[in-house]
Chain A
Amino acid sequence: MNPYPLGPIQILSIIGSVALIVGIIYLIRKKKLKEEYAILWLFIFFIFLIISIFRGSIDYISKLLGISYQPASLFILLFAGAFLLLLHFSIIISDMRTKMNRLVTELTLVHKRMEDLEKNKDYS
């Protein structure tokens, strides 16, 4: 006998995971999301999908981590995924901030140089 009969929550989580994957692909198609920022989202949603299809995987992970209450494992995985995404975006934001600072400096210097050149042109 199947120890994990297909229940409404499992059907809902499979549909939810597939919908999230399709949603990400749709955003890439519409060019609203760049592939490099979509990879981590897709990776996490694929893990959700695998867990949704193979319910025994949560039991396995719980045993591996020594957790007796299985839903807690699910929450740990969810937090880990969310944490990874947040860290990923924090790194990207930090990099963009550094680049923006350098770009503003560069633009200011170019602007000043152009002003100086125009002044010199007026005097000549």
Chain B
Amino acid sequence: MKVMVLIPAYNEEKTIEGVLDGIRTHLPDTQVVVVNDGSTDGMQQFLDKQPDITALHHPFNMGIGGAIRTGFEYFLSTDCDVLLRLDGDGQHPPEQASNVLRPLIEKAADAVIGSRFIEKKGYQSSFQRQGGIKLLHFLSRSILGLKITDNTSGFKAYTREVILGIIEDFPSDYPEPIEVYLMSKKGFSIIEVPVFMKQRQGGLSSIGVLDSYYYMVKVLLTIFVQFVIGGKK
């Protein structure tokens, strides 16, 4: 089974080297793709010096959803079977990746989410964000009937079929909670596995403090319109 590791990254020059080293150690037989989402630091120069990494450079910042979408398109152009996604800021330790990949290799699920809230170990996110995460947990349980504890986790793995099924409707920004709904509505089986996450090692979060309110409004509006009253299929 061929595995691709996708890292969407924006201005993460300081942390990306550590993440790539971790992948080289813990996931040696994988194809690694970094989508540099229009970084203004030295990301492009650094990535271009890594012969074993495929670097895809956006000409400007498209947001996390745009970067993941580029990665998905690239993945579909290859013959890889499984895509593992992790962040370039060091939050998702590559040594945990085997836990996320295992259910896919054992064909126990179509998609796997690495959750920091199952064993409640490691970085648990800020108090304010945890409120939003609890609300999303309640909504996914009542609307989808799924017990997803970490709807905002970007530590995920999927099969090729899942990516083919969700790429058309993949959101341009703040994609994580909506992605869970898309996968569930398309009938893919999703499971969560416990992971240990670290606090971001550097760079800026794709979601600022004020943005988090806008994020919740937008996500709730999408969930309500597309998944509660139903959208165009």
Contacts and interface: CB of A to CB of B under 8 A. Distances in A.
- A joins B in a complex: yes
B233 to A, nearest CB: 10
A30 B225 CA distance: 10
Nearest to A109: B59
B218 interface: yes
A78 interface: no
Contact of A36 (B173, B225, B226, B232): B173
B217 interface: yes
Contacts of A105: 59
Contacts of A98: 60
Given A102-B59, A102-B60, A103-B59, A35 B232 contact: no
Main secondary structure of the interface of A (DSSP, over half): helix
Nearest to B220: A35
A67 to B, nearest CB: 31
A19 interface: no
B232 to A, nearest CB: 5
Contacts of A34: 172
A34 B169 CA distance: 11
Given A35-B221, A39-B218, A39-B221, A99 B60 contact: yes
A11 interface: no
B39 interface: no
B28 interface: no
A124 to B, nearest CB: 24
A96 to B, nearest CB: 11
Contacts of B172: 34, 36
A38 interface: yes
B65 to A, nearest CB: 11
B214 to A, nearest CB: 8
B41 to A, nearest CB: 18
B229 interface: yes
B208 interface: no
A99 B173 CA distance: 17
A35 B59 contact: no
Contacts of A106: 59
Interface in A7-63: 25, 28-31, 34-36, 38-39, 42
A42 B222 CA distance: 13
Interface in B185-221: 214, 217-218, 221
B145 interface: no
A34 to B, nearest CB: 8
B60 A39 contact: no
A39 B217 contact: yes
B231 interface: yes
B230 interface: yes
23 contacts: A25-B225, A28-B221, A28-B222, A28-B226, A29-B225, A29-B229, A29-B230, A29-B231, A30-B231, A30-B232, A31-B232, A34-B172, A35-B221, A35-B222, A39-B214, A39-B221, A42-B221, A99-B60, A102-B59, A103-B59, A103-B60, A105-B59, A106-B59
Given A25-B225, A29-B225, A34-B172, 8 more contacts: A25-B229, A28-B221, A28-B231, A35-B218, A36-B173, A39-B221, A42-B221, A99-B60
Interface of B: 59-60, 172-173, 214, 217-218, 221-222, 225-226, 229-232
